[in-house]
Structure 1
Amino acid sequence: MADHRRPDLTTYPELAAAATTGRHRLRPRSPVDGLDRRKLGFAEVLGQSVSATAPTAAMAATPAIVAATAGPAALWSFLVATVVALLVGTCIGQFTRRMAAAGSLYSITAKGLSPVAALASGAALLLGYGALTAVSYVGAAAYLSALLPPGWPVPIAIVLVLTGVATVLLRRGVRLSARVVFVVEAVSIVLMLVIFATLLTSASAADQFARLGVPSFSLRGVASGVLPALGAFIGFEAAAAFGVEAKRPFQTIPRAILWTAGGSGVLYLFACYVQELGYAATPGGLAGQTEPVAFLAVAAEMPWLAALLKIGIAMSFFASVVATGNALVRVLFSMGREGVLPRAFGTTHPRFRTPSVAIAVAVPAAGVVAAVFLLTGASPAQILQVLIATTVFGYLLAYLLVCIATPLFLRRIGELTRGPVVAAAVSALVLVLVLGFFVTSGVSGEMLLAWAGMVVLAAVWAGWLVLRRRSRLATIGIYDETSAADLLGSQDADR
């Protein structure tokens, strides 16, 4: 039966000529051939970005962290962070509306900056995605173990089980993993909204409205709270790694990124307001609370909400494992196809059409990292603190590079306009300030030394490529292209 979705070369001879001769010659196959192209709908793509941010866990924990630095201005810090995330998403959208890539920010940064800058973005993404996957393993294991009776499997055993489940899900196909992520994250968000709505309508909460009033604004407080608030948005761009597999990538990818940034901001503002409300009469307020939502549930004489909270957070963390792992392996896939990393990473499963080698290496490796941290005897809270800081460092650097690349890319293609320039300038300035403050005062000396070692390794890797594999630098930034195999009547299409 003829495939009417693609033109027949025997009917349109000019396409046959374009596919085989002249300056419009098409590649025999797409550079990202092997992935399951054009299969994900908008909801599935949106689920990847939403799940990567783990909004349920962020709603429960981040407001107290932001309040510890911003004080009563925590709500304003979340508002500013939401605007910054939307501006960064606007910059990313300038690329994703024009190219469908699997390498996320690594691939699109290459189109605006040099290949070396793209390598820096790729290294930052690998660090960020890898650390965030490990964070999600630890978080899911910690909250699941809290739901089990004493003597049941310890967090390390749960991490190993989750690693196996996630590896199988990612390997079995992008549609399966995307649907699981969408359902799990949707349920966890609904559970969290039920919890907050219940607390908001409780009698004790209703008495606090007058006490809270309009949150006070302090420029210093807002500025100091932007960094932890921005950390809650980390991963919102994950949809950018699914441009090849989305049905209508030039529409669905930028829309999913912006919807995730805006929607997450609304959820965080709501969560922060409810928690500020609950602690309005408490000395010191929300700042300094270790488990603010669970404590409010107990204070409201609804301990069942605390159990529901743990279930929702555990589900959100597991969805983040799958979503972030999916993005991580696609960056590795792109690097493998380009020869920047071993070419085995660029291979795909012949049946499931997923980056099988990258999945087999990266997803279990993140699980091993999480298990090793747990074996040290450190508490999950201490482990999460270290891994989240590493995640934020990697992501902020990648976001900064893509913002810088945006106006250069648009000027190169002759489509530079005022709006993207303003978005890039504002977001880049904020990210420079936040990243500088984070590196100089937000982390320990030991962590800085560890990051410095990673930067040196990345620099050595880039230097080796420049000196010994310079020809491969020109291939950085591959994206999906119409190929001769896509045209009905070509030899590849007829096979």
Structure 2
Amino acid sequence: MTTSNELPTHTPARPALRTNALGLGGAVIMSAAIMGPAVSTFFNPQFSTPFAGAATPFVYFACLVAMLITASGVMAMAARLPSAGAFYTYVTRGLGPRSGFVTGGLMFVAYALLPPAEIGLIGSYVQGTLEAELGVHVPWWLLGLVPAAAMIFLAYEGIGSSIKTALVLFTAEVIVVMVISIIVVVKKGAEGGLTLAPLSPHSSPHGVGGLVTGFVFAALSFVGFEGAATLSEEVRKPRRNVPRAILLSVILVGGIYVFCIWAEVNGLGIEATNNLTGSATPWNDLAAQYAPWLNLFIVLAAVSSMFAVMVNSNNGIIRIFYAMGREGLLPRWFAHVNPKRKTPTNAVFTQGAFSIAVAMIVGALSGGLTSTSGGSNVYGYLGFLLTLGILPVYVLTNLAAIRFLRGRPDFNPFFHLVLPVVGIVLMTGLLVGQILLNTTEPYASFVYVIVAWVVVVAAGAYWLGRRRPEALAVAGSVLATGDAEVDVPAGTGATRSGNRT
């Protein structure tokens, strides 16, 4: 029994997430499906092309390298601190509970906005397809409610159902996007029309500024590479499998991006690529020109990829809500787990309602609930905003890795210092670049939205530190093992208790 001023070594006996539910393959699918190879290939590049133009493949290659570097600190922390809280736990243990609380707030922006963004994109894409192919008009918001309901159902049923669904969808979308890309390359190669120019930064029609802004939408395509970390309490051997899943997913999906977007630019041509906008559907055009029999498969792959992103990003933020609720930094109501399904059902329904509400509100304000531009803007605006939200998280996590690992016997100067520092410089430079070089509204103002949100969340962390120091004392302490290691702030009245994991 613990005394009134002693923190418990273990979490209270209560239903927990289902342990050993997934292996390495399931963890890879979690991260890879959040990135969404098809949706990110079919829709994200045309948000980059107004800025980076035909140099968009180069932007994606540069982003792949940057994400591999940035992932070094994430993998190091995932191997040592397996927790559903993921970044929140890593930053809390490396930089302190207040920084962890701010990280949780930024993760809310990054992960919680992905499902409503996909609701808008699915709705607008299906609406446009139905109008073009069948002459039938169905408002995008109504179409978006169907996958939203399915997302909530799968999250309620459990992680096993979600990952099995994601595996089928991921496999199908990768096959389709690779087949059409290979067909384009083979036919253009036969005509002698292939060029490596899109892999050069000099192909950008707007110079360095265009590359920097285009990079943000490329980074949007990589958001979620760390998704496997949120499954640390449900994956077998998480200290080994989660870091491997993160690395494999970045290499696999990043390679698909670079090849397929290079093929896209070659298939469309430099001039047509430079004229693309966010509402364009270039892959439908490519299918019509190079492989008309693939058109239906393109539509199905696009929708399935969007849905996989919805499902897996939704699972990620739900588990962060669960972890923060379990430790008292959010209402403990979020930590309720259904005894039968082993899922945090209160967090499931709250996030589901939030996703639908945000999609409808943003769509109504930015383009209307009946026009495809409304749904398209939901994706473009929220996608840009959530990417700006995740970049500071990558910076904080790499800072936390340096501090947490410094002085430990397994400290490696290259992997635990050099690579994290480079990752910090890259992500910070990208954020600063948005302030200095991006003048396109409303995107230029979104960075200040993130700054304002950080101020609000930081104020909340300060309030917790003054009014509820005992909550901050245990923040980030619960790992997949169930053990806790608590670094108690002075003045809380609590004493250190727990096991080092």
**Identity of aligned pairs, percent?**
23
Q: How many residues align?
A: 458
- Of stretches 372-381 and 386-395 in structure 1, the one that deviates more from structure 2 is 372-381
- Of stretches 74-83 and 421-430 in structure 1, the one that deviates more from structure 2 is 74-83
C-alpha RMSD over aligned residues:
2.7
Match of 1:97, SS?
helix
* CA deviations over 1:442-489 (Å, ceiling 9, x no partner): 4536545544443343133212211111111111113335469xxxxx
| Alpha-carbon distance change, 304 to 124 in structure 1, aligned in 2, over 3 angstroms | same
User: Does 1:142 find its partner at 2:124?
Assistant: yes
Determine the C-alpha separation between the residues in 1 that align with 2:251 and 2:317: 23
1:188 to 173, 181, 193: 173
| Alpha-carbon distance change, 347 to 75 in structure 1, aligned in 2, over 3 angstroms | same
1:264 to 253, 258, 270: 253
- Match of 2:226? 237
User: Does 1:321 find its partner at 2:303?
Assistant: no
The one-letter code matched in structure 1 to 2:405 is L
Determine the C-alpha separation between the residues in 1 that align with 2:85 and 2:423: 22
User: Does 1:438 find its partner at 2:434?
Assistant: yes
- Match of 2:300? 311
- Of stretches 431-440 and 331-340 in structure 1, the one that deviates more from structure 2 is 431-440
Q: Following superposition of structure 1 onto structure 2, how do residues 381-460 of structure 1 map, counting pairs within 5 Å?
A: 381-411=376-406, 413-419=408-414, 420-442=416-438, 444=442, 447-448=446-447, 450-460=449-459
- Match of 2:289? 299
Moved over 6 A (4+): none
1:375 to 364, 369, 373: 364
Contact 2:35 2:224 in 1 (8 A): yes
- Match of 1:48? 30
| Alpha-carbon distance change, 105 to 208 in structure 1, aligned in 2, over 3 angstroms | farther
Contact 2:228 2:242 in 1 (8 A): yes
User: Does 1:154 find its partner at 2:139?
Assistant: yes
Q: Following superposition of structure 1 onto structure 2, how do residues 199-218 of structure 1 map, counting pairs within 5 Å?
A: 199-202=184-187, 204=188, 206-209=190-193, 212=196, 215-218=199-202
User: Does 1:287 find its partner at 2:287?
Assistant: no
Per the TM alignment, residue 327 of structure 1 is displaced from its structure 2 partner at its CA by 0.4
1:355 to 316, 341, 344: 344
| Alpha-carbon distance change, 417 to 28 in structure 1, aligned in 2, over 3 angstroms | closer
Contact 1:55 1:189 in 2 (8 A): yes
| Alpha-carbon distance change, 142 to 96 in structure 1, aligned in 2, over 3 angstroms | same
Determine the C-alpha separation between the residues in 1 that align with 2:480 and 2:176: 41
Determine the C-alpha separation between the residues in 2 that align with 1:35 and 1:295: 45
Per the TM alignment, residue 71 of structure 1 is displaced from its structure 2 partner at its CA by 4.5
| Alpha-carbon distance change, 210 to 324 in structure 1, aligned in 2, over 3 angstroms | closer
Contact 2:73 2:398 in 1 (8 A): yes
Per the TM alignment, residue 147 of structure 1 is displaced from its structure 2 partner at its CA by 4.1
Determine the C-alpha separation between the residues in 1 that align with 2:482 and 2:141: 46
Determine the C-alpha separation between the residues in 2 that align with 1:415 and 1:31: 33
Determine the C-alpha separation between the residues in 2 that align with 1:463 and 1:479: 22
The one-letter code matched in structure 2 to 1:103 is G
Determine the C-alpha separation between the residues in 1 that align with 2:388 and 2:447: 10
Determine the C-alpha separation between the residues in 1 that align with 2:65 and 2:384: 22
Determine the C-alpha separation between the residues in 2 that align with 1:48 and 1:96: 15
| Alpha-carbon distance change, 315 to 439 in structure 1, aligned in 2, over 3 angstroms | farther
Per the TM alignment, residue 29 of structure 1 is displaced from its structure 2 partner at its CA by 5.0
Contact 2:42 2:283 in 1 (8 A): yes
The structure number with the bigger radius of gyration is 1
Contact 1:144 1:311 in 2 (8 A): no
The one-letter code matched in structure 1 to 2:345 is S
Determine the C-alpha separation between the residues in 1 that align with 2:425 and 2:14: 34
Contact 1:208 1:277 in 2 (8 A): no
- Match of 1:251? 240
Determine the C-alpha separation between the residues in 1 that align with 2:122 and 2:473: 40
Per the TM alignment, residue 70 of structure 1 is displaced from its structure 2 partner at its CA by 3.5
Contact 2:169 2:304 in 1 (8 A): yes
Match of 2:94, SS?
coil
Determine the C-alpha separation between the residues in 2 that align with 1:214 and 1:184: 29
Contact 1:94 1:406 in 2 (8 A): yes
Per the TM alignment, residue 38 of structure 1 is displaced from its structure 2 partner at its CA by 1.5
Per the TM alignment, residue 273 of structure 1 is displaced from its structure 2 partner at its CA by 1.5
Q: Following superposition of structure 1 onto structure 2, how do residues 339-354 of structure 1 map, counting pairs within 5 Å?
A: 339-354=328-343
* TM-score, scaled to structure 1: 0.85
* CA deviations over 1:75-107 (Å, ceiling 9, x no partner): 332222111111122111111111210012111
Determine the C-alpha separation between the residues in 2 that align with 1:453 and 1:26: 36
Determine the C-alpha separation between the residues in 2 that align with 1:256 and 1:30: 30
Determine the C-alpha separation between the residues in 2 that align with 1:260 and 1:476: 29
Determine the C-alpha separation between the residues in 2 that align with 1:161 and 1:72: 35
Unaligned runs of 5+ in 1: 1-18, 485-495
* CA deviations over 1:348-387 (Å, ceiling 9, x no partner): 0010011111101012211221122333405222222211
The one-letter code matched in structure 1 to 2:69 is L
| Alpha-carbon distance change, 439 to 327 in structure 1, aligned in 2, over 3 angstroms | farther
Contact 1:30 1:483 in 2 (8 A): no
Determine the C-alpha separation between the residues in 1 that align with 2:382 and 2:482: 41
